[in-house]
Amino acid sequence: MAVLLDIKNASKRYGDQVLLDEANATITDDGKVGFIGRNGAGKSTLLRVILGEEELDSGEVIRHPRLRLGYLRQHDPFEPGETALAFLMRDSSQPDWKCGEVAGRFELKGSLLTGPVKELSGGWQTRVKLAALLLHEPTLLLLDEPTNFLDLRTQILLEHFLRDYRESCLIVSHDRAFLGATCDRTLDLSGGKLTIFPGKVDAFLDYQRDQREHLERTNAAVLSKRRQLEDFIARNKARASTASRAKSKSKQLEKLEVEEIAADSPTAAIRCPEVSPRQGPAVRCRGLAIGYADRKVAESIDVEIVHGTRAAIVGDNGQGKTTFLRTLVRSLQPLAGEVKWGHGCELGIYAQHVYTSLDENDTVLSYLERAAAIGTKSQRILDLAGAMLFRGKAVEKRVPVLSGGERARLCLAGLLLGSFNILILDEPGNHLDVETVDALAQALLDYRGTVIFTSHDRSFVETVATNVVEVGNGRVINYGGSYKQYLAAMNSEIDAEEEAAGGGKPAASKKPGGGGKPAGKPGPGKQDGAGRAGNDAKSERDVRREIGTLERSIAKLDAEKRAANEAMLATTDPAEALRHHTAMTAAAEKLAAAEERWLELQEQVGAD
């Protein structure tokens, strides 16, 4: 186990805001770490420090000499007209077969690989960026909110890859389901301090809660004991016969101290509009076709959503979820058929990026006053503003100075101050921290109206949804099962495709590679089942993948051997020298075996 990053006494502040306060943490090369903390705690700042893009006020980050950072880029690195394959080759300087192999791990094949990359959806472009990142063979992946805007299928593919990925990762995410599926350790940033926990995020949160409860019980016992001692001292210090005992109790009292408990960060206590429950269909789609003048997205849609349900709209990116929602709320006209809402339905709409259209002249308070239903009391507006973390003078903040998360909370607050009995929510959790998303989920559970929503946060969907509407392959249908069943079916489908493509589910460094054929379908020259042609192709791919893995291992072992030799020669301590000699011998033996295997495989490839 090597220490890749050692963060020592790190301090960083912006004005009065303390992000890091002599924080310490160690990231090793044998695990995947989920990085959590409230919005604004300083997670992205710490990532920029690790990348060398920002400096600490004090302290240091010690990097291992072998450290190679891989950072998922948020900007667009593609050139006009460039294909995904051409970009990967340009960015990594790797040959086409190697780029195709890595791209294949994210199902980038055929026209997805050879067509213009800028014509791909955001989710597919993210897959291209991930493939490019892996081609540089980093020893530590830094992923900052990698699931934002990724569809469910891409999230699961990324999960599968990260679970099998043999190098280390530091992953910032608000999606607890994703962190739970990919990370075996947790790094928490709160109050300027870093805490590393050797377990998954849910276990850490349970531990944190248990520790707090233990401290509260201990402090309560200490306070009770202090009151008893103070009472005894007050009754006995003036009497000569008991004065010495009172003095002894005073010394005991001085030693009794309560432990400081960090104050809870404020959490949004969200409440949905109070509405009367209704019966029957809320909306009916009959013979509906959706899309645009030059492109039909889906047709023959016959879907009904009844009052009181919380319908999750699911499907891959680019399949038409947002188009379907826009058609439901009549911001997009249907190509055919009809959308019919029930009598008395009042729609409240939260669309993606709605917060970018806020009036720049508004303050938080003036926006909420205009958004609130007629007759809403001022105190109710201020209460909800406070619940959404706009407290005190924060209600006087003007829109231009609000962060993305603050604007999202403001728009949600405006929606919740209305009297809508139908809520249409397109990705309501984006730009909200975990605690606020949890509060929103609980509020929606208590809401007596109807909710139609999309979300990439699986924990949120599983908590809220009562039924699932799937958009994909030109159709929109009511899925018969629960969201948990839908997730299980999606996982099984991806597992089957991976097994069909590679004869079993291999580790990330041995996953099936590129090519232009869909996973699981035999292409020209292949046979179904155990045909000889398929076996030969699979064998050659496996050999090339093993060669690549061995080349990385050889470089790593050679570096370890040289480092041990240098350390052995530099030390004057006999015991230390013996330890380094043992390490050097072990590395040399592994290196010889790896080189021998590499030669065997090279001969095999040459013979083929």
Dump pLDDT digits (tens) for 133-172.
889 889 999 988 888 767 888 888 888 888 888 889 999 9
Give the full edge-to-edge strand order of the sheet including 336-341: 295-306, 281-292, 336-341
Residue 58, judged by CB atoms within 10 A of its CB (0-12, 13-18, 19+), counts as: exposed
What is the residue whose two structure tokens read 């439901």?
328
Q: If pLDDT is split at 50, 70 and 90, which confidence band does 34 have?
A: very high
Q: What is the set of domains in the chain, with CATH numbers?
A: 3-204 (3.40.50.300), 281-480 (3.40.50.300), 532-607 (1.10.287)
Q: If pLDDT is split at 50, 70 and 90, which confidence band does 533 have?
A: very low
pLDDT above 80 (res 564): no
Asked if 137 and 68 count as a contact pair (C-beta separation under 8 A), the reply is yes
What is the rounded average pLDDT for all residues in the chain? 82
Asked if 283 and 340 count as a contact pair (C-beta separation under 8 A), the reply is yes
pLDDT above 60 (res 263): no
pLDDT above 90 (res 469): yes
Q: What is the pLDDT of residue 338?
A: 94
More confident call, 372 vs 522: 372
Q: What's the CA gap between 518 and 501, in Å, rounded?
A: 9
Average pLDDT over residues 95-120: 88
pLDDT above 50 (res 541): yes
CA atoms within 13 A on the CB side of 460: 29
- Secondary structure, 3-state, 514-563: CCCCCCCCCCCCCCCCCCHHHHHHHHHHHHHHHHHHHHHHHHHHHHHHHH
What is the residue whose two structure tokens read 């669309």?
351
- Specify the pTM: 0.67
Average pLDDT over residues 181-193: 91
Give start and end residues of each alpha helix (H) in 279-403: 321-328, 364-371, 378-387
